[in-house]
């Protein structure tokens, strides 16, 4: 084989090896809709906790446990809010709360991850609701990976918790009887791509 | 005789103070039973029952009460259609044979004016067993919409579903422990 072709092949295969190695560090997961949900909790008249969820949540995650880096992006269809009370759902979609017509999507984008060994402990990022973006840190209450028996693939997931003040996103209706603090509990499972 | 009259009056007053029974009707828009179970030790599955009713009697002077809540099992809702279908089947709630779950609480624990726990029985799938609901929060307030007193709070308990005969999946990773988070608000009648 001529020397020039040999060097080209060597360069190409080294390049492929290096790129392949770097890509293999970062693993992609697609969030499974049946096991991904954003739950919310708000205090009602300082007495009981009103709960609900957003049924339509989609997203993807890339984790690089060696470098402690990754990407997380989650998008929520605000019209998919579900409280168990149909009339309340209608109010929540309205302009006093989610403003779902003008802002059909709320979303979270990560800016930094913190690992505790193999375990994802925290995801810092930005949450956008009603068109307003604010910093948000998702704290892992639990995180783990398993090989799913049915899918025959790695599934990683957990429960993440965060709090926001809805007034900071422009929703002040009902204060203080309907609380300002909204607790988010994000149950998530992602299937390895 | 004068002293006897005063003594009788005092007794009567004490008796009246004892009979401070108030009846409350559950506000279904602010009363929900949410259940939680770990899914293959990864994420937590949360669902609720959308239809329920009930009544509560409270005697804060005597520190006693009674709560009766009935849940329509066919209203189970996890936000995931196929899962709801499975939960309604014989494998779990067996809705066709067991259309309701009921809780009767007849022992109330108080700390001052606040209810801290309600002990009673939970009837599910034809079995009645004791449970205690612990309050993480309790409060009474004057509701401006109803123009009436509303009492309520957040209660919780964890049950082992197998004790009621719900054993599906225990051998392949569906947990026995189910946490119940109960929001309740009841309007004074």
Say how many residues make up chain A: 193
Rounded distance between C-alpha atoms, residue B110 and residue B119, angstroms: 12
Query: B32, B48, B79: which to substitute to probe chain A, counting the most A Cβ within 10 Å?
Result: B79
Decide if pLDDT at A18 tops 80: no
pLDDT tier for residue B2 given thresholds of 50, 70 and 90? confident
Q: Is A48–B42 a contact, with Cβ atoms under 8 angstroms apart?
A: no
Query: Chain B residue closest to A39 (CA)?
Result: B46
Helix (H, G, I), strand (E, B) or coil at A9: helix
Q: Is A131 left (phi over 0), alpha (psi -120 to 50) or beta?
A: left
Let me know if residue B13 belongs to a domain: no
Let me know if residue B31 belongs to a domain: yes
Rounded distance between C-alpha atoms, residue B182 and residue B138, angstroms: 12
What is the tally of structural domains in chain B?
A: 1
pLDDT per residue as tens digits for the range A114-125? 999 889 999 999
Let me know if residue B169 belongs to a domain: yes
Rounded distance between C-alpha atoms, residue A5 and residue B83, angstroms: 59
Let me know if residue B6 belongs to a domain: no
Which pLDDT value is given to residue A21? 47
Work out the average pLDDT over B107-118. Answer: 96
Nearest to A176 by CA among B147, B114, B144, B102: B144
Give the CA distances from residue A95 to residues A79, A163, B126, in Å, rounded to whole numbers and listed in that order. Answer: 12, 21, 46
pLDDT per residue as tens digits for the range B33-87? 999 999 998 999 999 999 999 999 999 889 999 999 999 999 999 999 999 999 9
ipTM confidence score: 0.89
Decide if pLDDT at B13 tops 60: no
Rounded distance between C-alpha atoms, residue A161 and residue A159, angstroms: 7
Work out the average pLDDT over B122-135. Answer: 98
Let me know if residue B3 belongs to a domain: no
Work out the average pLDDT over A70-92. Answer: 97
Rounded distance between C-alpha atoms, residue A116 and residue A147, angstroms: 21
Domain residues for B136?
20-188
Average pLDDT, chain A: 91
Let me know if residue B76 belongs to a domain: yes
pLDDT tier for residue B19 given thresholds of 50, 70 and 90? low
Query: Is some CB atom of chain A closer than 8 A to the CB atom of B44?
Result: yes
Which pLDDT value is given to residue A178? 97
Which pLDDT value is given to residue B10? 60
Strand partners, B177: B160
Which pLDDT value is given to residue B186? 97
Residue A143 structure tokens: 């995180």
Query: Is some CB atom of chain A closer than 8 A to the CB atom of B143?
Result: yes
More confident residue, A14 or B43: B43
Which pLDDT value is given to residue A24? 52
Which pLDDT value is given to residue A25? 81
Query: Chain A residue closest to B41 (CA)?
Result: A144
Among B46, B48, B141, the residue with its CB nearest the CB of A47 is: B141
Whichever domain contains B82, its CATH number is 2.40.128.110
Which pLDDT value is given to residue A127? 98
Q: How many CA atoms lie within 13 A of A65 on its CB side?
A: 11
Let me know if residue B5 belongs to a domain: no
CA A141 to chain centre: 14
Q: Out of A21-35, A156-170, B129-143, pick the least confident.
A: A21-35
Which pLDDT value is given to residue B11? 58
Let me know if residue B4 belongs to a domain: no
Rounded distance between C-alpha atoms, residue A53 and residue B78, angstroms: 9
Query: A37, A47, A141: which to substitute to probe chain B, counting the most B Cβ within 10 Å?
Result: A47
Query: Is some CB atom of chain B closer than 8 A to the CB atom of A147?
Result: no
Which pLDDT value is given to residue A155? 96
Query: Is some CB atom of chain B closer than 8 A to the CB atom of A49?
Result: yes
Domains and CATH numbers, chain A: 26-192 (2.40.128.110)
Work out the average pLDDT over A128-145. Answer: 97
Decide if pLDDT at B108 tops 80: yes
Decide if pLDDT at A145 tops 50: yes
Among A37, A39, A189, the residue with its CB nearest the CB of B42 is: A189
Q: Is B42–A37 a contact, with Cβ atoms under 8 angstroms apart?
A: no
């Amino acid at each position: 084989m001529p020397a020039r072709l040999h060097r080209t092949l060597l360069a190409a295969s080294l390049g492929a090896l290096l790129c392949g190695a770097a890509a293999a560090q970062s693993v992609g997961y697609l969030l499974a809709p049946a096991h991904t949900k954003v739950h919310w909790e708000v205090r009602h008249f300082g007495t009981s906790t009103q709960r609900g969820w957003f049924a339509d949540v989609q997203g993807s995650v890339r984790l690089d446990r060696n470098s402690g880096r990754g990407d997380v992006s989650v998008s929520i269809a605000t019209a998919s809010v579900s409280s168990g009370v149909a009339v309340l759902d209608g109010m929540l979609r309205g302009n006093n709360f989610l403003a779902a017509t003008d802002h059909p999507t709320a979303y979270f984008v990560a800016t930094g991850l913190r690992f505790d060994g193999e375990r994802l402990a925290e995801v810092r990022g930005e949450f956008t609701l009603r068109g307003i973006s604010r910093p948000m840190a998702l704290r892992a209450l639990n995180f783990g990976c398993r090989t799913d028996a049915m899918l025959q693939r790695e599934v990683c997931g957990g429960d993440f918790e965060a709090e926001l003040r809805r007034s900071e996103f422009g929703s002040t209706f009902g204060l203080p009887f309907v609380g300002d603090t909204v607790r988010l509990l994000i149950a998530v499972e992602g299937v390895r791509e | 005789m004068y002293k006897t009259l005063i003594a009788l009056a005092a007794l009567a007053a004490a008796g009246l103070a004892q009979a401070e029974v108030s009846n409350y009707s559950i506000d279904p828009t602010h009363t929900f039973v949410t259940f939680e179970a770990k899914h293959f030790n990864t994420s937590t599955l949360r669902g609720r029952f959308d239809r329920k009713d009930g009544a509560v009697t409270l005697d804060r002077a005597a520190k006693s009460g009674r709560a009766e809540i009935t849940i329509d099992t066919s209203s189970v809702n996890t936000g995931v259609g196929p899962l709801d279908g499975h939960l309604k089947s014989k494998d779990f709630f067996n809705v066709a044979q067991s259309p309701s779950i009921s809780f009767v609480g007849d022992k109330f624990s108080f700390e001052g004016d606040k209810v801290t726990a309600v002990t009673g029985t939970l009837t599910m799938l034809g079995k009645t067993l004791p449970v205690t609901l612990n309050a993480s929060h309790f409060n009474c307030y004057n509701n401006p919409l109803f123009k009436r007193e509303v009492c309520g709070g957040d209660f919780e308990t964890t049950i082992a579903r197998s004790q009621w005969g719900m054993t599906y999946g225990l051998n392949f990773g569906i947990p026995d422990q189910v946490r119940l988070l109960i929001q309740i608000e009841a309007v004074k009648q």
